[in-house]
Amino acid sequence: MNPKVAVIMGSDSDLPIIKETTEVLDQFKIKYQLHVLSAHRTPEKTIAFAKKAYQKGIKVIIAGAGGAAHLPGIIAAFFPLPVIGLPIKSKTLNGLDSLYSIVQMPPGVPVGTVAINGAKNAALLALEILAVSDNKIKEALLSFRKKQQQTVKEKSKKLNRLGAKEYLKTKK
Amino acid sequence: MNPKVAVIMGSDSDLPIIKETTEVLDQFKIKYQLHVLSAHRTPEKTIAFAKKAYQKGIKVIIAGAGGAAHLPGIIAAFFPLPVIGLPIKSKTLNGLDSLYSIVQMPPGVPVGTVAINGAKNAALLALEILAVSDNKIKEALLSFRKKQQQTVKEKSKKLNRLGAKEYLKTKK
Amino acid sequence: MNPKVAVIMGSDSDLPIIKETTEVLDQFKIKYQLHVLSAHRTPEKTIAFAKKAYQKGIKVIIAGAGGAAHLPGIIAAFFPLPVIGLPIKSKTLNGLDSLYSIVQMPPGVPVGTVAINGAKNAALLALEILAVSDNKIKEALLSFRKKQQQTVKEKSKKLNRLGAKEYLKTKK
Amino acid sequence: MNPKVAVIMGSDSDLPIIKETTEVLDQFKIKYQLHVLSAHRTPEKTIAFAKKAYQKGIKVIIAGAGGAAHLPGIIAAFFPLPVIGLPIKSKTLNGLDSLYSIVQMPPGVPVGTVAINGAKNAALLALEILAVSDNKIKEALLSFRKKQQQTVKEKSKKLNRLGAKEYLKTKK
Amino acid sequence: MNPKVAVIMGSDSDLPIIKETTEVLDQFKIKYQLHVLSAHRTPEKTIAFAKKAYQKGIKVIIAGAGGAAHLPGIIAAFFPLPVIGLPIKSKTLNGLDSLYSIVQMPPGVPVGTVAINGAKNAALLALEILAVSDNKIKEALLSFRKKQQQTVKEKSKKLNRLGAKEYLKTKK
Amino acid sequence: MNPKVAVIMGSDSDLPIIKETTEVLDQFKIKYQLHVLSAHRTPEKTIAFAKKAYQKGIKVIIAGAGGAAHLPGIIAAFFPLPVIGLPIKSKTLNGLDSLYSIVQMPPGVPVGTVAINGAKNAALLALEILAVSDNKIKEALLSFRKKQQQTVKEKSKKLNRLGAKEYLKTKK
Amino acid sequence: MNPKVAVIMGSDSDLPIIKETTEVLDQFKIKYQLHVLSAHRTPEKTIAFAKKAYQKGIKVIIAGAGGAAHLPGIIAAFFPLPVIGLPIKSKTLNGLDSLYSIVQMPPGVPVGTVAINGAKNAALLALEILAVSDNKIKEALLSFRKKQQQTVKEKSKKLNRLGAKEYLKTKK
Amino acid sequence: MNPKVAVIMGSDSDLPIIKETTEVLDQFKIKYQLHVLSAHRTPEKTIAFAKKAYQKGIKVIIAGAGGAAHLPGIIAAFFPLPVIGLPIKSKTLNGLDSLYSIVQMPPGVPVGTVAINGAKNAALLALEILAVSDNKIKEALLSFRKKQQQTVKEKSKKLNRLGAKEYLKTKK
């Protein structure tokens, strides 16, 4: 079966963040495509990808970009299914530029935006979108949430037992 | 058939913006629930809604809120399918507070965020999510995009014909 | 006697800051509860805590959170006594997101907010609130302020004596 | 009985906002002092007030100010019980200056800050602080919250009944 | 002779600002193309334009856009000669979003950006670029600057003569 | 005697704000020069003014400007005595651009900056500078401060007498 | 032949960034002048340079500056051909001050601004401007873009082959 | 002779910046007082200082502070001669909070503000203020400016001679 998710980034310097997206997808055993596609440096290839993705069975595209960060918006202009925008923290404006460029799309062409460097949530949002029509993913998400809950509860218990000072020592 | 979409807002003062969301859904003939639910003033009812929504067949929730704007995040904490966050322009910080509160979700619980006052795109993103598994909606979206394209092209032609000055006169 | 103060945080990664809150409370010999409670990852437990806190004798809750930082607001939705919001500096927006999410609460449900990473002041504000009806705490606060004053005055004297250059050497 | 609450403002141009604070206090039948006190234009009087307030039975001070907004901080320097800072929206920076000046207090002297123009919440936070040791106010707050809840629920029902378009017509 | 300048905008709602660009070009008797081209709503047409512009003799493109404002960057990805980006003031973020999206281009593909709503300067920068190899335009620019200088000097003289109060009366 | 103060502005559109500066100077009977001088549109004249001001007996220059707001800095580059920078509120960035351009001067060439649109304070700061060596101005400033104090105190008394609601009626 | 490009900076502390500008020019074999010119510390020399540049055959000036960053604007006031403004990241405001000071020029005197620290793009924009009338530079730019495209495509292929984890290892 | 300048700071943690102020004053052989005075932690002492400073011959006060940064404003409320505000870069908001708190003073009580961490300029502005009535300081300032000019010119020459790459090597 072809992958239903594509994960793309504007530059390979975004990969250390994007890797967290792929790790979540791997953990849920979801196949995905992975590309470096620059809206500005490889515009033809980017547009060709965006046009064909839909016919090739891609259902959701996660696009990470920083600075002017046009990639998610340009993909969304050609792809009629959900595009998830992942603003990458930039060197000079802390990712504010990336966030505004991605989230402030004009009426008619939406990009569902997650937090600056919110790479895990980009994957989880993609999974939630697939879960709308896929019960197995839905169940996997529900059990992920339970486990997550458990982890926080255990931390709280440990903190209750040890107090702030001792707890912090165990984390070093 | 039960509605698959719920549109909720933190206060009825957000309704003039939220109305644009419902108009797009109406235009696509998509049924939806419509509620005022405050994360702070009616927290019990909000949580009860978030918990039951999933069992009642809701597939996507659009949540509009302004200021501290906790509504989308709280809904997402209980609802395992996609939540679309719509930041409403606020009186003192122009919606920057709404945007940050909604988009900067912690790892584990995503909210797909659209532009400040991006009410039309909230509806379109919901439709795109449903279109992943619904061909009729997908076709409707494709034809919506074509019409949209046509409108812009006609404006451009008219502008070519009239020039800036005359064009602006026709808009008054 | 049951603790009158609860100190909670959205994630144990906030603990290095929150520890300064607990140290001030320890210094004033005030008992407190200490929990990790995530508005998004453990919403049920968070709400259960918020509802019961009041019956169990908690008089003030200090809630630290970063990013979307919904914890203080959600607690305040269920807890009718003072909630002190402590915005934690975030990695991408320097805590501006935390500050706006916590302070910009809608009319009807206040959160008394302190500075970004203002962990000591969160404790002191809790003490001031208790001091309204507790003379011992009031006296302790007054003597704390005197000592604080003394410290600054001694620094000023030392600076007068040594001059800027020598003073800085003694601090290395 | 002497008032336990003082409401002060840096300039009478803040009064249209501050009036919402006094209206909430009136509604809860709480007596209060009301002064114009400028940290910069009447510094002596401001400091004299701050020093004496405590002896005269004032338990909480609500201080509203805009721009450089030093009033709450200066009051807090002299008053050992809770000071609530109310940032007033300013003409040039939308109240961001007021917010930062009030909330970013240094360690040792806290100001519990509410939203920009959050005048109602300033009063409610003062009431919550008094409610820590006053059961009558606590009960009044609980019933206020219930009424508030009721109002939102009725709006939601009305919206369900009328739909967005008709609802908005009734508000004109 | 074919026009050497193209003036494009993302939406006809930008036209009231863009008109000031065309007026400066008209004043200098420079022919130009004028189009509405949306990077998101008419992406194919936009790219087709960008690719062909160069062959058709266009030497400079002025692109105005607001919000996510991807138009100038996308044009620059296909057009190897200067692109001037004109950020249009947006409704929710005052044009900060437009400015960041346009100016923060990644290394390799520049956009020369002018002030938010700096429509006149967009035209003047285009003229300066043409003036590098066109003496007639250079002379026209020099005489424009002289006239501009004269205007300011006359205002200063009038102000000297009348004083602030009387001067302001003459402007009503 | 020649004026010791010059008041200059980058554009006559700044005059409605600058007028408040001249009114304070008039009130203190201080003579001043008044010019429109643009760092960008009349650079030669601006520099000539800056160079000669010092020889002609000018002791303080107040320079108001908006947007890129280079005027105060350029004047300071040539004038060895105090330059007061007055940032004018701009149309697109609310005067933040003006403030940063004026206040963030590099080491070596200071500009003493007042609030955005702080036209009265620009005049008062100039007077304080002259008062360092002019007892008459110092006395006038002291009595100005007393009067100012009186005004605030009277407002406070009136507010005490009337309460918020009635007070506001008297201001309409 | 005299250089057609001048690269200037406000301080030699900007040189580590500016060096990237000169490296691009070197790579394209474009001769250039290189100066430290401070609008505030060497204003006379700066203005003398700006006035003569035009007669000496300079066609484009690239001016990098940080903080108040008046250099590009002052140069533009005297130089009738294109000035490219390069905002340098500043220590306290991350280059926001530099960006606003440079881009927000008043009508009449444009500065074509590139990204904060966008030193490579400053050079490329200068080359594009020269390419308007120089076919050799135009061809060099086209082949530069092709190579740039190739690099991104190869990275994408490598990423496809290795996956995120292995790819990142090869970059250490 | 008593010092005419006082340099004060809100906390001794500001001293590494403030030291640059004292170094400039030392270099000009200007005597000064040096104190740690906290508007919040030692308010009485701060006010006592502000009131007496004037009688003791202080002509200018330089006040450095960070965060809420009320010190310069409070001093200005009591001191009728020039107060120079020096915003110190803060840990969480990069000094934006300090800047706004210091510069946005209300009409009636000005503070002449310099750049964030602009410690040298604070001293130079104080010197310029004294130079209004002190020819020796004026001459010293003029010769300081000449030397400063010389330094920049020498750097430019060296850069011309060595080129960017070699120049940077000499700075390591």
Query: Could you read off the pLDDT of D123-155 as tens digits, one per residue?
Result: 999 999 999 999 999 999 999 999 999 999 999
Burial class (CB in 10 A: 0-12, 13-18, 19+), C57: exposed
Residue H45, pLDDT > 90, answer: yes
Amino acid at E148: Q
Residue H113, pLDDT > 90, answer: yes
Give the predicted TM-score (pTM) of the model. Answer: 0.97
Residue G34, pLDDT > 90, answer: yes
> Is the minimum CB–CB distance between E38 and chain B shorter than 8 Å?
yes
Q: F34 CA to chain D: closest CA distance, Å?
A: 25
Q: E166 CA to chain F: closest CA distance, Å?
A: 11
CA-CA distance, D90 to D98, in Å (whole number)?
7
Q: D147 CA to chain C: closest CA distance, Å?
A: 11
Interval A84-118: pLDDT, tens: 999 999 999 999 999 999 999 999 999 999 999 99
Chain G contact set for E116 (CB, 8 A): 104
> Is the minimum CB–CB distance between H116 and chain G shorter than 8 Å?
yes
> Is the minimum CB–CB distance between B96 and chain A shorter than 8 Å?
no
**Minimal Cβ distance to E105: which of G111, G118, G130:** G118
Q: How confident is the model at residue A31 (pLDDT cuts 50, 70, 90)?
A: very high
**Minimal Cβ distance to B42: which of D94, D152, D163:** D152
- How many C-beta neighbours within 10 Å does residue H2 have? 9
Q: Find, among A98, A99, A111, A42, the residue nearest to A72 by Cα.
A: A111
CB contact under 8 A, A92 and G163: no
3-state helix vs strand vs coil in chain D, percent to 5? 55, 15, 30
A near G: at least 3 beta-carbon pairs less than 8 Å apart: yes
> Is the minimum CB–CB distance between D98 and chain F shorter than 8 Å?
no
- How many C-beta neighbours within 10 Å does residue E60 have? 28
pLDDT at residue G4 in the model = 98
> Is the minimum CB–CB distance between C109 and chain D shorter than 8 Å?
yes
Helix (H) / strand (E) containing G88: strand G83-88
Interval H137-151: pLDDT, tens: 999 999 999 999 999
Chain E contact set for B168 (CB, 8 A): 15-16, 19
> Is the minimum CB–CB distance between C40 and chain A shorter than 8 Å?
no
Residue B128, pLDDT > 90, answer: yes
F near E: at least 3 beta-carbon pairs less than 8 Å apart: yes
Interval F1-52: pLDDT, tens: 689 999 999 999 999 999 999 999 999 999 999 999 999 999 999 999 999 9
For helices C15-27 and C119-131, the axis angle rounded to 10 degrees is 40
CB contact under 8 A, H15 and C164: yes
Q: How confident is the model at residue D37 (pLDDT cuts 50, 70, 90)?
A: very high
CB contact under 8 A, C45 and A153: yes
CA-CA distance, D112 to D72, in Å (whole number)?
9
Predicted confidence pLDDT, tens digits, chain E (172 residues)? 689 999 999 999 999 999 999 999 999 999 999 999 999 999 999 999 999 999 999 999 999 999 999 999 999 999 999 999 999 999 999 999 999 999 999 999 999 999 999 999 999 999 999 999 999 999 999 999 999 999 999 999 999 999 999 999 998 7
Residue F171, pLDDT > 90, answer: no
Cα dihedral sign, E23-E25-E30-E32: negative
Q: B79 CA to chain D: closest CA distance, Å?
A: 20
Q: B141 CA to chain E: closest CA distance, Å?
A: 13
CB contact under 8 A, H34 and C149: no
Residue H75, pLDDT > 90, answer: yes
Percent of chain D topping pLDDT 90: 97
CB contact under 8 A, H41 and C94: no
Interval B23-81: pLDDT, tens: 999 999 999 999 999 999 999 999 999 999 999 999 999 999 999 999 999 999 999 99
**Contacts of H among chains (3+ CB pairs under 8 A):** C, D, F, G
Among G5, G12, G70, the strongest candidate for a mutation testing the H interface, having the largest count of H CBs within 10 A, is G12
Q: How confident is the model at residue D88 (pLDDT cuts 50, 70, 90)?
A: very high
Residue H87, pLDDT > 90, answer: yes
Q: What torsion, rounded to 10 degrees, do the Cα atoms G27, G30, G36, G38 define?
A: -120
Residue A1, pLDDT > 90, answer: no
Q: Which residues contact F124 (CB under 8 A, 6 or more apart)?
A: F24, F141, F144, H108, H109, H110
Q: Taking CA atoms, what residue in E is nearest to A110?
A: E40
E near C: at least 3 beta-carbon pairs less than 8 Å apart: no
pLDDT at residue C171 in the model = 81
Locate F87 and state its tokens. 């940032």
Chain B contact set for A125 (CB, 8 A): 82, 110, 112
Distances from the Cα of C61 to the Cαs of C49, C79, C103, D115, in angstroms? 11, 9, 15, 19
Chain D contact set for C107 (CB, 8 A): 118, 120-121
C near H: at least 3 beta-carbon pairs less than 8 Å apart: yes
pLDDT at residue D171 in the model = 81
Q: How confident is the model at residue D65 (pLDDT cuts 50, 70, 90)?
A: very high
> Is the minimum CB–CB distance between G47 and chain F shorter than 8 Å?
yes
Chain F contact set for H81 (CB, 8 A): 128, 131-132, 138
**Minimal Cβ distance to B164: which of E15, E41, E92:** E15
Q: Among F4-13, H13-22, H163-172, where is mean pLDDT lowest?
A: H163-172
> Is the minimum CB–CB distance between D36 and chain F shorter than 8 Å?
yes
pLDDT at residue G95 in the model = 96
> Is the minimum CB–CB distance between E162 and chain G shorter than 8 Å?
no
CB contact under 8 A, A159 and C35: yes
3-state secondary structure chain E: CCCCEEEEECCHHHHHHHHHHHHHHHHCCCCEEEEECCCCCCHHHHHHHHHHHCCCCCCEEEEEEECCCCHHHHHHHHCCCCEEEEEECCCCCCCHHHHHHHHCCCCCCCCEECCCCCHHHHHHHHHHHHHCCCHHHHHHHHHHHHHHHHHHHHHHHHHHHHHHHHHHHHHC
Which residues are registered as beta bridge partners of H64?
H9, H86
> Is the minimum CB–CB distance between C109 and chain B shorter than 8 Å?
yes
CB contact under 8 A, H97 and D100: yes
Chain C contact set for D116 (CB, 8 A): 104
Locate G154 and state its tokens. 């190869």
> Is the minimum CB–CB distance between B118 and chain A shorter than 8 Å?
yes
**Minimal Cβ distance to B152: which of E38, E68, E92:** E38
> Is the minimum CB–CB distance between E122 and chain G shorter than 8 Å?
yes
pLDDT at residue B171 in the model = 81
pLDDT at residue E171 in the model = 81
Amino acid at H5: V
**Contacts of A among chains (3+ CB pairs under 8 A):** B, C, E, G
Q: Taking CA atoms, what residue in F is nearest to H133?
A: F133
CB contact under 8 A, A36 and G159: yes
Amino acid at B97: D
